[in-house]
Amino acid sequence: MALAAEAGSEVRHPLTPLRYRVVGKRRETEDTVTLSLLPVDRPIALTRPGQFNMLTGFGVGEIAISISNDPAAEEPLEHTIRAVGAVSSALCQTPPEGVIGVRGPFGTDWGVAELSQTDTIVVAGGIGLAPLRGAIRALLERRRPSGKGHLLSVVVGARNPSQLLFEEEMLAWQRAGAHLQVTVDTARPGWSGPVGVVTDQLARVPADFSNAVALVCGPEVMIRYTARALVDLGMPRDHIRISLERNMQCGVGLCGHCQLGPWLTCRDGPVFTYDLRAEGILASPHR
36-95 positions binding another protein, by CB under 8 A: 41, 56, 58-62, 84-85
Type and span of the H or E element at 133: helix 130-146
Subset of residues 252 to 281 that bind another protein, contact rule: CB under 8 A? 252-257, 259, 261-264, 267
SS3 state at 7: coil
CA atoms of 71 and 141, how far apart (whole Å): 13
Longest Cα separation, the chain: 68
Burial (Cβ within 10 Å: 0-12, 13-18, ≥19) of residue 90 = buried
Instruction: Give the residue, chosen from 89, 116, 118, 249, that forms a contact with another protein under the rule CB under 8 A.
Output: 249
Instruction: Give the residue, chosen from 38, 113, 172, 221, that forms a contact with another protein under the rule CB under 8 A.
Output: 221
Instruction: Give the residue, chosen from 35, 136, 222, 240, that forms a contact with another protein under the rule CB under 8 A.
Output: 222
Crossing angle for the helix pair 167-175 and 130-146, nearest 10 degrees?
A: 20
Burial (Cβ within 10 Å: 0-12, 13-18, ≥19) of residue 80 = buried
Subset of residues 3 to 32 that bind another protein, contact rule: CB under 8 A? 3-7, 11-17, 19
Instruction: Give the residue, chosen from 218, 235, 239, 270, that forms a contact with another protein under the rule CB under 8 A.
Output: 218
Query: Shortest gap between Cβ of 126 and another protein (angstroms)?
Result: 3
In DSSP terms, 157 is beta-bridged to: 125, 183
For another protein, the closer of residues 145 and 285 by Cβ is 285
For another protein, the closer of residues 35 and 158 by Cβ is 158
Instruction: Give the residue, chosen from 23, 140, 142, 159, that forms a contact with another protein under the rule CB under 8 A.
Output: 159
